[in-house]
Structure 1
Amino acid sequence: MTVTIKDVAKKANVAPSTVSRVIADNPSISEKTKRRVRKVMSELGYHPNLNARNLANQTTKTLGLVMPSSASKAFQNPFFPEVIRGISSFAHMEGYALYMSTGETEEEIFNGVVKMVQGRQIGGIVLLYSRENDRIIQYLHNQNFPFVLIGKPYDRKDEITYVDNDNYTAAREVAEYLISLGHKQIAFIGGGSDLLVTRERLAGMSDALKLADIVLPKEYILHFDFSRESGQQAVEELMGLKQPPTAIMATDDLIGLGVLSALSKKGFVVPKDVSIVSFNNALLSEIASPPLSTVDVNIYQLGYEAAKALVDKVENAESTAKCIIIPHKLLKRQTCDHYA
């Protein structure tokens, strides 16, 4: 069986990127570490390849950004411009430029990332999402290429650096707040079920309801993309049920705003008839009518810390995987009320 950089790294108890830099005789690696790694390479019969050497010599001052979908679609959601503002702020301070992936389909986006990596156009990548069985995450990990996730990884949590909120706790707090207002029919509108943020928030809400002996019917759980149209479609489904919900948790402000608009068009009064809480605290949530109760996830800080962690990985060969949790806060505005 072929010996890989990962095999050497595991036995030498160092990161794969450290092995790559030892191969290139990078001066940032101590002589003690170099001797240990080279000894393991000899013991295992590992022979370095050109790709590893090229990666070790990477010096570009450009960071790549990868969106969860086409840029034209993603930028309709205020989350992404704000998180990129945070990334850009730290990158600019450290003298890095940004390079954004383009593509209208998942295949085009993946091919764009491969081109960025193999063409040595960038020194590292920030992925603005985390989903199950993602080809890009798997590719970057297998290539030992520096990257950071915004969102918890589905697996390899000890090997991948990521920046996230405590989404489970945040959703649990929202559910407990709605329960305290007397609500027992609480619906959940989330993003795709393959997204880790959706799973964590649904788990937090489900556990809060379970502790309060409140049932969460299957028809109260809906998955859409993050858009106003999704919120409007969700209202059509939920309010058409024999027993519609009295409160709704939407995992994104755009969905929440769509819910608010659709309820109003149907003659429901928020929060008198239905209470709503969403996530992100985008500017639009504050100026909505009525102002939307939401969880502030500190979007800018998510981006800033992601860029900071990535630059550390690019410039510091000894950098290890880390988890950075950004605090959240439930903002109780005017879309929630006691259920009579």
Structure 2
Amino acid sequence: MAAAPRRVTQFDIARLAGVSQATVSLVLNGAENALARIPPETRERVQKIMRETGYVPDPIARRMARGANRILGVFTYEPAFPSAQADFFLPFLFGIEEEAQALGYDLLLLTGTGQGAQRKIFAEESRLRIADGCIVLGRAFDPDELRRLVAGDYPFVAIGRREDAGAPVPYVGADYATPTGQLVQQARALGHTRLAYLGATETAESTADRWRGFQAALGKDLLLALHMTDTAGSDAELLDKVLHSGATAVFCVELADAMRLEAQARERGLRLPDRLSVMALGSHVRAEGSRTHFASFRIPREEMGREATAMLVRRIEGGAREPVRQILLPCEPIVGDTLGPAPR
């Protein structure tokens, strides 16, 4: 069996043309000012030998020579693929992949780890540098790493609004405050005056934004009858606390808490929204275990992934000329079946 023909290399071209390998590399990849230093006859000789030998440049080598691999990194602070996290991450990844393909970039999923289970984006910096830039996403970022990214020259974009980390952070996020406030306004219009809020308020920017939108819409005519930042305990205890507070409309940061209330109310023969209105502050891809269509709003996860990818490519290709941008995309209201008039 005949051996496969050996691939022609830059070294072969240099030997046949009687020039250095550096000269061949400049003919292939050099900028105009560098090519000007090579005599035209030398360039023509090198190019002629390339044609005659059928030389095909290594695309990876050419990208490396130009300082661009056309690879985008994607780093998640939590595992992206276990089923418990898929609800959160997959739509972002769909959007990222779609836009990267449209722009002619490949993707590299970075899974750098530090001590214990905490992921670290700089755990292996050489791998980070394989990519021309990186999209960073997660429920909570490491503040020290975010400051390091902002202070450095490595292009990155965060998915989700982030507070300044020594300087503004480039991000694409969702506007959670506006639709949360709109749900409060709808509850007011339906006669609700005593509200309950279940969920954290300061653990991340996304929860802080929901709380800010809720507070801004309360006004002086609505009473926050119950505020639980920790919803641990049995489902029965959770519903008891809501009912004992006198609240008739409940705002749940987590869909899981809305589902717990609905299931427990059903067990007791209490119908939603006749006895209690329950709202989820953000849609989820799946809602296993519940057929209830909660009043909520759709988080534009795929759009956020696409826009973050486009922003990152602009930062890579524009360099220092590209300003830091911060974009919040609107959320789409979901009417649902769980918000009704206040019980009389």
Q: Same fold (TM over 0.5)?
A: yes
Structure 1 runs not aligned, ≥5 long = 1-25, 29-54, 225-229
Q: How far did 1:152 drift?
A: 1.5
Matches within 5 A, 1:294-313: 294-313=296-315
Percent of aligned pairs with the same amino acid: 21
- The counterpart of 1:320, out of the listed 295, 307, 323, is 323
Matches within 5 A, 1:6-155: 58-72=67-81, 75-102=84-111, 108-116=117-125, 120-129=129-138, 131=140, 134-155=143-164
Residues 198 and 116 (structure 1 numbering): CA distance in 2 closer, same or farther, change over 3 Å?
same
SS, match of residue 131 in structure 2: coil
Match of 2:203 in 1: 194
Match of 1:178 in 2: 187
Q: Deviations over 1:205-255 (max 9, x none)?
A: 01211x1432325x523257xxxxx7x857733533532532222234454
Give the number of aligned pairs.
Answer: 281
Q: How far did 1:89 drift?
A: 0.6
Higher Cα Rg, which structure: 2
Q: How far did 1:337 drift?
A: 0.9
- The counterpart of 2:224, out of the listed 199, 216, 223, is 216
Q: How far did 1:332 drift?
A: 0.8
Match of 2:272 in 1: 270
Match of 1:15 in 2: none
Q: How far did 1:157 drift?
A: 9.1
Counterparts of 1:119 and 1:131 in 2: how far apart (Å)? Answer: 20
Counterparts of 1:305 and 1:66 in 2: how far apart (Å)? Answer: 16
Kindly indicate whether the alpha-carbon contact (under 8 Å) linking 1:131 and 1:154 is maintained by their aligned counterparts in 2.
no
Q: How far did 1:122 drift?
A: 1.8
Match of 1:50 in 2: none
User: 2:324 is aligned with what amino acid?
Assistant: A
Q: How far did 1:58 drift?
A: 4.4
The answer to whether structure 1 residue 338 and structure 2 residue 341 are counterparts is yes
The answer to whether structure 1 residue 205 and structure 2 residue 214 are counterparts is yes
Q: Deviations over 1:44-67 (max 9, x none)?
A: xxxxxxxxxxx9974232222232
Residues 311 and 278 (structure 1 numbering): CA distance in 2 closer, same or farther, change over 3 Å?
same
User: 1:312 is aligned with what amino acid?
Assistant: R
Q: How far did 1:148 drift?
A: 0.9
Q: Deviations over 1:282-330 (max 9, x none)?
A: 3436995331221112221111101111111122212111122212221
User: 2:106 is aligned with what amino acid?
Assistant: A
Match of 1:12 in 2: none
The answer to whether structure 1 residue 236 and structure 2 residue 237 are counterparts is yes
RMSD of aligned alpha carbons: 3.5
SS, match of residue 127 in structure 1: strand
Kindly indicate whether the alpha-carbon contact (under 8 Å) linking 1:130 and 1:196 is maintained by their aligned counterparts in 2.
no
Kindly indicate whether the alpha-carbon contact (under 8 Å) linking 1:291 and 1:333 is maintained by their aligned counterparts in 2.
yes
User: 2:299 is aligned with what amino acid?
Assistant: V
Kindly indicate whether the alpha-carbon contact (under 8 Å) linking 1:190 and 1:223 is maintained by their aligned counterparts in 2.
yes
Counterparts of 1:149 and 1:119 in 2: how far apart (Å)? Answer: 15
User: 1:205 is aligned with what amino acid?
Assistant: F
Query: 296-305 or 237-246: which moved more?
Result: 237-246
User: 1:168 is aligned with what amino acid?
Assistant: A
Q: How far did 1:163 drift?
A: 0.9
Residues 103 and 115 (structure 1 numbering): CA distance in 2 closer, same or farther, change over 3 Å?
closer
Counterparts of 2:65 and 2:147 in 1: how far apart (Å)? Answer: 20
Counterparts of 1:280 and 1:106 in 2: how far apart (Å)? Answer: 33
Counterparts of 2:97 and 2:324 in 1: how far apart (Å)? Answer: 22
Structure 2 runs not aligned, ≥5 long = 1-29, 33-63
- The counterpart of 2:252, out of the listed 250, 253, 257, is 250
Kindly indicate whether the alpha-carbon contact (under 8 Å) linking 1:188 and 1:248 is maintained by their aligned counterparts in 2.
yes
Match of 2:53 in 1: none
